[in-house]
Amino acid sequence: MIEINNKNSIGKTADNAISPSELNLLARRTIENQLGSIWLSGEVTDLYQAASGHAYFALKDTKSSIKCTFFKQYNFKKIQLKNGDNLLVFGQTTLYEERGTFQLKVERVENAGIGDMAQAFAQLKLQLETLGYFASEKKQKLPKIIQSIGIVTSKTSAAIKDVLNVIKRRNPLLNIKIYHASVQGERAIEEIIDALLSADINQHDVILMTRGGGSVEDLWTFNDVSIAQTLFNLCTPCVSAIGHEHDRSISDLVADVSAITPSAAAELLTPNLAELTLRLTYNLSQLQHFINRKINQSYQKIDYSYHKLEKLHPRNQIKVEAQIIKSQHEKLKQIMNQKLLFSTSQITLVKNTLKHYDFNFREYKSSLNYYQHSLDHNVKSLISNNKQQLKHSISQLNSLSPLSTLSRGYSITLKQNNMEIITSNKCVKVGDKIQTQLKEGNIISKITQI
């Protein structure tokens, strides 16, 4: 252990070099003895509330910040701290030896208010909200299928490594282009805006603007109004992933979608390739099922149309009309025979009746001749009428006859061997002989090509 009394000579030469722990011990004792306990005012940032009840934070102004610890045994008033509070605290200056970190052990919190940065954030948030920058109806939806992503971030950041690792694991087929921009510092705002505009011009499916975690000061760049205006006017949907889960920037609020971490944003934009393949397989199966159903429906329509056409074919209609004519002809013959039999029976009846009487045939000869003449006339008239009906039926039959169709320039093609009517090219093959029936004469042909 070194002695403080000899501090003027400690570490001055190689012979009396000291270790880091000895230097930190010396620095802690020096700070505590020289500075002691002080009052300090500033804005709370990087607040961490431990489960043990202790609080760890930093107090900052526009240029610098000081680490602070606030152990629960000093928090008699149960003060609830939050980032952005403006505190006046009293505590012991010291050095955390394990890390060599200068800090203040807070023993008393006198007052609290809204800090400058928190107030600026709240004012800008209210201003942009009034202008509709956060309105959900003005945010663009991410495309269902993403093939190209433009990433706005620093090429040397840890965030881009996390993003690329997730993309490589989930979907290495994505087209990725990185637009480098400083994520903090004097030129950060200008470079981020230029990168966003360049990515927008290149028409990616989506833009990812991201950086890893850091202090409020480190992330303050993304609370700039110029970046917010650029994000709002982009044509390409944009995802913002700034810092960690507890961080919230103006850029996150303006972007179309925000993610809690860079890795979470990469997960959101890269659907698992296996899941995508499974979905495409299912969609292909559904499409095949739809196509098969449409084909079967078309087959049914064709079969129905063929059946209907078959019923309307002239050959079938001729058969039906011929059957009707034949039936009418038989009925006509039956009627004529019945009338002839009736007339014959009437004559026989008259003759039998006349046998019972002694007539003077000369006296009734003229009457008999009259009746005979009348009977002959009626029979001839009946026969004439029946002939007219028969001619009319024959005329109808001839109008439906294939021979009538031939007289109009049509022809009938038959197989020469069995005289079967050919209705399709599937009924014959190359080399077959066919006979074509015309109005006058026949033509014998041989098939050379189908």
What does the pLDDT read at residue 4? 44
How far is residue 150's CA from residue 196's CA, in Å, rounded to a whole number?
9
- Domain span including residue 369: 340-373
Q: Do 231 and 362 share a structural domain? A: no
Q: Do 261 and 280 share a structural domain? A: no
423: burial class by Cβ within 10 Å (0-12, 13-18, 19+)?
Answer: exposed
Q: Is residue 347 in a domain?
A: yes
Q: Is residue 378 in a domain?
A: no
Three-state secondary-structure class, residue 52: coil
For the chain, the domain total comes to: 5
Q: Do 282 and 228 share a structural domain? A: no
Give the chain's count of helices (H) and strands (E).
Answer: 12, 13
Q: Do 281 and 267 share a structural domain? A: no
Q: Do 63 and 191 share a structural domain? A: no
Q: Do 299 and 254 share a structural domain? A: no
Residue type at 342 in one-letter notation: F
Listed in sequence order, the residues at least 6 apart from 2 whose beta carbon sits closer than 8 Å to its beta carbon are 10, 18, 22, 25, 26
Q: What is the DSSP letter of 421?
A: B
How far is residue 260's CA from residue 267's CA, in Å, rounded to a whole number?
11
How far is residue 155's CA from residue 35's CA, in Å, rounded to a whole number?
42
How far is residue 208's CA from residue 231's CA, in Å, rounded to a whole number?
11
How far is residue 269's CA from residue 184's CA, in Å, rounded to a whole number?
25
- Is the distance from CB of 200 to CB of 234 less than 8 angstroms? yes
Q: pTM for the complete prediction?
A: 0.45
How far is residue 15's CA from residue 323's CA, in Å, rounded to a whole number?
135
359: burial class by Cβ within 10 Å (0-12, 13-18, 19+)?
Answer: exposed
Q: Do 277 and 238 share a structural domain? A: no
The tokens describing 299, both together, are 């087959």
One pLDDT digit (tens) per residue for the chain, 450 residues: 444 445 556 777 888 888 898 898 998 898 888 888 888 888 999 999 888 889 999 999 888 899 999 998 888 777 888 888 888 888 899 999 888 899 999 988 876 555 667 778 888 888 898 899 999 899 999 998 889 999 999 998 889 999 999 999 888 888 999 999 999 888 999 999 999 999 999 999 999 999 988 777 788 899 999 999 999 999 999 999 998 877 788 999 999 999 989 999 999 998 766 677 787 888 888 888 888 888 888 878 887 787 777 777 777 778 778 888 888 888 888 888 888 888 888 888 888 887 776 556 566 677 777 778 888 888 888 888 888 888 888 777 777 666 666 667 777 888 777 678 888 887 888 888 888 888 778 888 888 888
Q: Do 346 and 282 share a structural domain? A: no
CATH number, domain of 100, equals: 2.40.50.140
Q: Do 263 and 177 share a structural domain? A: yes
Q: Do 250 and 172 share a structural domain? A: yes
